[in-house]
Chain A
């Protein structure tokens, strides 16, 4: 059925006008594949007259189609979602597609940690609609498998998922997770430069400055294209990082003014401003390593704030956000720094530890499983035994006949 349908896509495109009649005769849940093909063709049309009807048709289809049948045509289903997203984005109606795409992903996913090419479409709609919560239920799950979609799954989808995901987490100020996502986009094995990787790298630098105060060294498995081609294109960001390393807010501000145009053009000015505030906080945190108590006026001097009132505000906000452990004494205008009061001996902490250990155990099982799968893969076995042959031509090859 799937082959027949894919061959007749051209014929369907030519008979555009009759598609609605055909749709009326088919049932969404029983003839899912047929309906799917018809809808894709409708969405591919150069000029869509009646979008509202098409919207309702797609909505009904996604909620009532049969998962069994869709499993045989995953790439067509993904194409439906892509084209649908494009139409909504063009018409500036991103919000309307969110629930539908959430449903679509759930129908296609055989398990929760499966990444499909529909994921980045959902993220894109959420970003444009400025409504991020629906995407979080997908982004918060760690991916362990990618849906092949009959070979149509593209690297672009993978990179976009992590780039958009990183942007969503940055907007929600979950900087640690955002950093992880941008790092995934930047360390994807590649031979050529991708614009997505370039933009991810810029945001990676900025978020790293906010979280860690410096650019972390990329892991060993990061592709060579990054330092060779992408780094030279991000000079402004590297300058900012160097200025940041000096811990001097005046230096940082001068770099920001110097490269203002670049940052604004890249739509990264908001993040850059957050880097600036983060520097003051970093400097205050560094003071805790040297001092036990400090006067507010002294702190304001060292960190280059305008006065003790402003210093008090910064410290108060950091205490509220849990970024520092301190108490302010207004009577004598002093701040006293404490150690983390967590003694790690409560039952609640034990539960936390337990959760983390369970995650590690599950991860270990997953890796063992993946290792087993590769070990019995015929291509791998051939390659391994092939090398064995080259090394020792005289001896009989033991690898074959597994």
Chain B
């Protein structure tokens, strides 16, 4: 995998799934397992990652400690234990999974920020830093950049809600033809 930008993670995971099914003797390479496991975590598909972990043969798990390290991240994600997730992501990953794990770190931060924005009317700065896996000062900075307001005395952040923009539209003729279908169906 050359550059970090624009790797098609979704396409890659479909490819790897097909390769796993066609693998000789039903057992794939440790590299495939590592990549697929990391990809499932990136897509937040903790259920698929759990079953993938269950089906990796024990001898491969023992011979490839990196797989266990990736799974540890998965276990923390399952429990939604944010500090442990960031802690376990801070490892020296091999080249085949590094881009995926880096992307995972980014996406965890984004997901955490979105969740806090959606769920909290006000949140303690320390708790927010825990969600973001950053030191408190950096977290404060990130929040201010997003337009959140900080109350300096009581150290509470107020997230700014985003208005959802709907981009899907239907052309008018299609509207008309769809409505005609319904009416003719109801008449019969």
Contact = CB atoms under 8 A, between A and B. Distances in A.
B133 to A, nearest CB: 16
Contacts of B27: 95
Contacts of B123: 328, 330
B47 A131 contact: no
B48 A328 contact: no
Contacts of B178: 354
B55 A361 contact: no
A145 B40 CA distance: 35
B142 to A, nearest CB: 18
A98 B118 CA distance: 41
B169 interface: yes
Nearest to A357: B182
B119 interface: yes
B55 A130 contact: yes
B51 A171 contact: yes
B51 A130 contact: yes
A313 B81 CA distance: 10
A315 B123 CA distance: 14
Contacts of B119: 315-316, 319-320, 326-328
Contacts of A319: 115, 118-119
A96 B25 contact: yes
Interface in A357-398: 357, 361, 364
Which secondary structure characterizes the binding site on chain B?
Answer: helix
14 contacts: A95-B21, A95-B26, A98-B21, A99-B21, A171-B47, A173-B47, A320-B119, A329-B121, A329-B122, A330-B122, A330-B123, A330-B127, A347-B170, A348-B166
A346 B166 contact: yes
Interface string B26-37: 110000000000
A176 to B, nearest CB: 16
Contacts of A253: none
Contact of A351 (B51, B118, B168, B182): B168
Interface of A: 93-96, 98-99, 129-134, 171-173, 313, 315-317, 319-320, 326-331, 336, 346-348, 350-351, 354, 357, 361, 364
Interface string B147-174: 0000000101000000000101110000
Nearest to A97: B26
Nearest to A326: B119
B13 to A, nearest CB: 10
Given A171-B51, A348-B168, A328 B21 contact: no
Nearest to B157: A330
A351 B178 CA distance: 11
Interface of B: 17, 20-22, 25-27, 47-48, 51, 54-55, 80, 115, 118-124, 127, 154, 156, 166, 168-170, 178, 181-182, 185
Contacts, number: 78
A201 B55 CA distance: 28
A23 to B, nearest CB: 22
B185 to A, nearest CB: 5
A132 B169 contact: no
Nearest to A173: B47
A95 B51 contact: no
A364 B185 contact: yes
Contacts of B170: 347, 350-351
A331 B55 contact: no
A134 B120 CA distance: 39
A321 to B, nearest CB: 10
A99 B22 CA distance: 7
Given A93-B26, A96-B26, A346-B166, A331 B122 contact: yes
A131 B122 contact: no
Contacts of A317: 80
A399 to B, nearest CB: 27
Nearest to B122: A331
Contacts of B166: 346-348
Nearest to A360: B185
Nearest to A88: B26
B184 to A, nearest CB: 10
B169 A328 contact: no
A130 B54 contact: yes
Nearest to B53: A130
A131 B120 contact: no
